[in-house]
Amino acid sequence: MAVTHADLAPSRRGADLGSKTGVVLMVFSILLGLLCFVLCLIAEATRSQIIRWDGDTKSESCRYSGNGKTALICGAAAFLSLAVGMVVQHAHLLLAVTKSDPDPSQLLMPPHLSNHHLNTLTWQAAFFFITTWICFSVAEVLLLIGLSVESGHLKGWFKPRPSCFIAREGLFSSAGVLGITTVFLATGLSITALRAQWLLQDQEINNVRREVTQEASILYPSPPPAGDRIMAIHAQTPIARPHDLYHER
C-alpha cells in the first residue's frame, strides 16, 4: 500500500496549538486583554483627585474628591483579567509544546539551527517571550500601585488632611495599554510556536519519505534497460548481453 501525506502527517489533538481548542483559548485571552484595557480606562476616568483649600488652620490641607471605590474595583478586575488571560494562554502553550510531535523546543537544539527559517523562528519566539513577560510584569505592577493608592482612602475621604496621595495621571491607562500589548505578544508567541511545529513536521515528513525511497530502491532495484537481452548458454547461468553486440543466429 502506498504511503500518502495523510498517513505521515500526525493527527490533531485538543492540546495542539492549531486545534479548535487552541484557537478558542487564544481568542478568549485576547478578549480578556481587551476587557483589561477597558477597565483600566474606566479606572483612569474615575480615579480620585485632590481638592485643596485653606481652612481654619494655618497650613494648607487637602481632601479627596471621592472614595475611589469605582477605580479600585475596575483596577482589581483589570488585574485579574490580565492575569487569567496570561495564565490561560501560556498554560495551553506549555501543554501543547510538551505534548506536540515534533516538539517545537527542538528549535533550541544545534542541529536545527542550520535551517535559516527555523533560526529566524527561534529569535522571533525569544523576542515574543521576553517582551510578553516584561509588558505583563510592568502592567501588573502599575495596577498594584494604583490599587494600593485608591484603597488608602475608602473611609474618611471627605475629611481634610495634611497630605494626600493619589495615582498619577495616566497610570491606569498605561497599565491598560501594556495589558492589551501583553495578550497580543502572547498570541504572536503562540503563532510562532505553531509555525515552528508545522515546519518541523514538514521536515520530519520529508525525512520519512527520503528513508522510504532509499529502502524501496534497495529492496526493488530498477529493471535492466530495454535494449538488453538475456542469452542462455548451455549448462551456464543466463547472462545479460547488450542487443547491439550479440544477435541471435
The pLDDT of residue 210: 60
How confident is the model at residue 78, as a pLDDT? 95
Mean of per-residue pLDDT scores for the chain: 75
> For the chain, which residues make up each domain, given as ranges?
13-219
Spatial separation of the C-alpha atoms in residues 74 and 87, rounded to whole Å: 20
- Between 174 and 243, the higher pLDDT residue: 174
Higher pLDDT, 5 or 134: 134
Beta-carbon contacts of residue 203 (< 8 Å; ≥ 6 apart): 115
Is 238's pLDDT higher than 70? no
DSSP letter string, 173-242: HHHHHHHHHHHHHHHHHHHHHHHHHHHHHHHHHHHHHHHHHHHHHHHSPPPPPTTEEEE--TTS--EEEE
Which of 179, 130, 186, 202 is closest to 17 using CA atoms? 186
Contact 15, 96 (CB under 8 A): yes
Question: What digits encode the pLDDT tens for the residues 141-193?
Answer: 999 999 998 888 888 777 887 878 888 889 999 999 999 999 999 999 888 88
Q: For 91-124, what is each residue's pLDDT tens digit?
A: 888 887 777 655 555 544 444 444 566 678 788 8
| Strand ranges inside the chain, DSSP E | 50-53, 61-64, 228-231, 239-242
Task: Identify which has the larger pLDDT, 228 or 94.
Answer: 94
Question: So what's the pLDDT on residue 8?
Answer: 46
- Per-position b or e across 45-60, b if 16+ CB within 10 A of its CB: ebbbeeeeeeeeeeee
CA 109, chain centre distance (Å): 19
Residue-level pLDDT at 202: 60
Q: Which residues, including other chains, have CB under 8 Å from residue 212's CB and lie 6 or more apart?
A: 3
Question: Per-residue pLDDT for 33 more than 90?
Answer: yes
- Torsion from C-alpha of 238, 239, 241, 247, nearest 10 degrees: -40
Q: Hey, what's the torsion of the CAs at 212, 202, 193, 126, to 10 degrees?
A: 90
Write down the pLDDT at residue 30: 93
The whole-model pTM stands at 0.69
**pLDDT value of position 160:** 80
* DSSP-assigned letter for residue 61: E
Residue whose C-alpha cell is 475611589: 68
Cβ–Cβ under 8 Å, residues 166 and 149: yes
- Range 232-242 average pLDDT: 50
**Is pLDDT of 3 > 70?**
no
**pLDDT tens string 199-219:** 766 656 555 566 666 666 666
CA distances to 51, 54, 161, 163 from 64, rounded to whole Å, are 6, 14, 9, 10
* Run of H or E residues at 135: helix 116-150
pLDDT exceeds cutoff 50 at 58: no
**Best-predicted range by mean pLDDT (50-54, 163-167, 233-237):** 163-167
What pLDDT is attached to residue 223? 57
